[in-house]
Each structure stands twice: as C-alpha cells, then as structure tokens.
Amino acid sequence: MYFSLVPNIEYDEKPISYPFSESDFVTAKNFFRRYKVNEDVFSYAVFFKEYTIRDGERADVIANNAYGNPFYDWVVLITNNMVNAQYDWPLTNVELTSVLESEYSDPYGTIHHYETYKIAQYPAGIHVDETFYNKVHKLNINGGVKQKNGNEICRPVTVAEWFNAENEKKRQIYILKPSYFRSFVDDFRKRNLYKKDANYISQRLKKTG
C-alpha cells in the first residue's frame, strides 16, 4: 500500500547515441521524497498516544490493532520518523542477545562508558571517562565542600547494559489516534503528487536527467 502512494521518477539511464540527444529512461519509485513529521507534534496528546512496543511485536500487528489493517504499518513507521525498520525498530530480546554475543567477546563484562548519578552539581546520566571514575572530586553538598571518590559519583555501564537501554528507548513510540488516521493518509497522498514544472509528466511521474 505504501509503495502505491509513492510517486515515480523517470531518470536518464544512458544515452542512446552521439550526440546524446536521446536516452534510455528507467522508471522507479522516488524515495528521495521524504515525509517527515515535525517532532513538536508529539507533544500534542490530542493527535497521538504513547505506546510501548512489546517484545517481538511488529509494526503490521500494531497497525492492524490501531487501524484495522496490517498494510498501514507504514503509518506507524512514518509517524515516528523511522527511515529503516531494520535498524529503527527494537530488536527482540533473543535478537539483542545474539547480536551482543556475536560482536563482543564479553559484552556483560566490557565497560562501554561511565555514567554519573544525580549528586550535587552533577545531573544523572552524564557520560564520563575512566579517569573521572578513578579520581577524587570536590563537591558542594548542602553548602559545604566534601570529597567524593569517582565511584561514588558515577558507575560503569557495560556494553550489554548500554545496548539494552538503547533498545528499550526504541520501544517507546507514538500511535496516531484513529480519528486522525484518515486525514494523515489523505495528506500523505496529496504531498506525494507532483506540481507542474520543467520535469513534470503527470501528478505521479516526473523525469530527470
């Protein structure tokens, strides 16, 4: 269904003969036309609801539950600005374990980075290096200066912890509410129609080359 809405482009593949006034043309989908949702729109609860992708749940399953048709999976992807579902969609727990153990000799013991706790002037989640972790730091706590070891301010984060945390972030998406679904599809269709210019052939086809 998605591909039927993406317009075509006719591009110059190769000249036929000198002086190259004629060419062979190939028609393909124009994937350079990118539909991007403004990030600010997600703050409007009237349009979207937050959703957590369950382990192993696919976009077509979510689309079927939300819109009654699994072929509207592209709406789920596009409204979350996902370009490539292979990389933007969360891995299953089994897939994540497989990737970790195939790419790292010890993902559960290898340190990926160090991360601060929320303490004194340090907010939580700041990435720091091993030198910071091993140093002694002076902190202003309740109006007095106190010394704290680095391991009291931050903690090591393993490769496995890091990958799992990043994968969990991908589970948090937004679902366009059904009442706005048809308007979105209609708008997507209209935005994928070409306007007349020098390369215009039809609303669904233009040429280049």
Q: Where are the domains of the chain?
A: 1-33+192-209, 104-159
Per-residue pLDDT of the chain (209 residues; tens, 9 = 90+): 554 555 455 556 655 555 545 556 666 655 455 556 655 555 555 788 999 999 999 999 999 999 999 999 989 998 898 888 889 999 999 999 999 999 999 999 999 999 999 998 889 999 999 999 999 999 988 889 999 999 999 999 999 999 999 999 999 999 999 988 888 888 777 776 567 676 656 655 656 75
Determine the residue type at 102: S
Q: What is the mean pLDDT of the chain?
A: 82
Given strand 111-116, what is the order of strands in its sheet?
127-128, 111-116, 154-158
Picking from 51, 81, 44, 88, the residue whose alpha carbon sits closest to that of residue 66 is: 51
**pLDDT reported for residue 20:** 47
In sign, the C-alpha dihedral spanning 11, 32, 72, 95 is positive
**pLDDT reported for residue 198:** 65
